[in-house]
Structure 1
Amino acid sequence: MSVKEQLFKECQLYVEKREQTIREIMASNKKALLSETKSSAGDKHETGRAMLQLEMEKASQQIAVVQQMKEVLHRVKTTESSEVVRLGSLVQTDKARYYLTISIGPVSVNDETYFVISSSSPIGKLLLGKQVKDVIQFNGQQIKITQID
């Protein structure tokens, strides 16, 4: 399995775990919401329900983000390479290695660290459309692209 395929698999696992966690939180909140019974505490009951509703809304927004991540991953072609940095590119620079898919942070493959970033992240935007030997400016540093897979 290529490094690119391993990184892609890590992205898929990340999204699956995140979705599962959010769905578990939603189920737990739903159960808590249904089991809340009107008590003599009145205001305390209403506050509890309102807090659970807010948590449910927050979880729904997080599910939407996970769906967007899934859509991005669906568009990535792990077997294609390009001479220009694009979604799914594995970019080697003189400073670090980047994989442009979704933002999950640093991932280690074969004792090498790769920064798995979104193409809409600040450095992702700078890398898009660039070629080998191109130089970008990021955080006051010059970064030279040495390889694109």
Structure 2
Amino acid sequence: MKKNKSILFEKCRDYLKERINRIKSSLNDLDEALANEIKSSAGDKYETSREMINAEINQLSGQLKQFKEQEEILELAIQRKESGKIQLGSLVKTTAANYLICISVRKLEVENEIYFAIGANSPIAKNMLDKTEGDSFSFQQKEILIREVQ
């Protein structure tokens, strides 16, 4: 399971890198578009177009900041020492599903097993935090058993 955990962390890293690169590429395109707008004609049309580009730049910059913060959280999760208790960085197998508690990514597959990368603040993670192997918890009116914690 340790190997799977490393692979899952790497998949999370790849996910973030891909998102960050896509946003940076879009920001570069917008910077070029803004430079071209400055060179073009003046007037109301110019101002409107420039403001739209700036608004999009601001939105993408906010998204970039969020993904950079997620990178920091992921690195914290990777560096966390195992304690036997479910915490940030834990790989948890339950009777309902398998979870990696780090950042919210998506459904991931490793060696024909499905895992869900979830944030520590997600509702299900909050129910699992500080529990150990053999404990159970209730989520969405279902009793879930924790089979394994790493």
> C-alpha offsets along residues 57-78 of structure 1, whole Å, 9 cap, x if unaligned?
0111111111111111221236
2:122 — aligned with what?
121
TM-score by length of 1: 0.91
> C-alpha offsets along residues 104-135 of structure 1, whole Å, 9 cap, x if unaligned?
01100001100011101111111111112222
Q: Are the counterparts in 2 of residues 91 and 148 from structure 1 also a CA contact under 8 Å?
A: yes
TM-score by length of 2: 0.91
1:86 — aligned with what?
87
Q: Is the alpha carbon distance of 1:110 and 1:79 closer, same or farther for their aligned partners in structure 2, counting shifts above 3 Å? A: farther
2:17 — aligned with what?
16
Q: Is 1:39 matched with 2:45?
A: no
In structure 2, stretches of 5+ residues that fail to align are none
Higher helix share: 2
> C-alpha offsets along residues 2-44 of structure 1, whole Å, 9 cap, x if unaligned?
000000000110111111001001000011001014436x322
Query: Which secondary structure does the structure 2 equivalent of 1:107 belong to?
Result: strand
Query: Which residues of 2 match residues 1-149 of structure 1 at below 5 A?
Result: 2-36=3-37, 37-39=39-41, 42-77=43-78, 80-149=81-150
Query: Which secondary structure does the structure 2 equivalent of 1:19 belong to?
Result: helix
In structure 1, stretches of 5+ residues that fail to align are none
Q: Are the counterparts in 1 of residues 132 and 149 from structure 2 also a CA contact under 8 Å?
A: yes
Question: Alpha carbon RMSD of aligned pairs, Å?
Answer: 1.7
Query: Which secondary structure does the structure 2 equivalent of 1:68 belong to?
Result: helix
1:81 Cα deviation after fit: 2.9
Query: 122-131 vs 10-19, which deviates more?
Result: 122-131
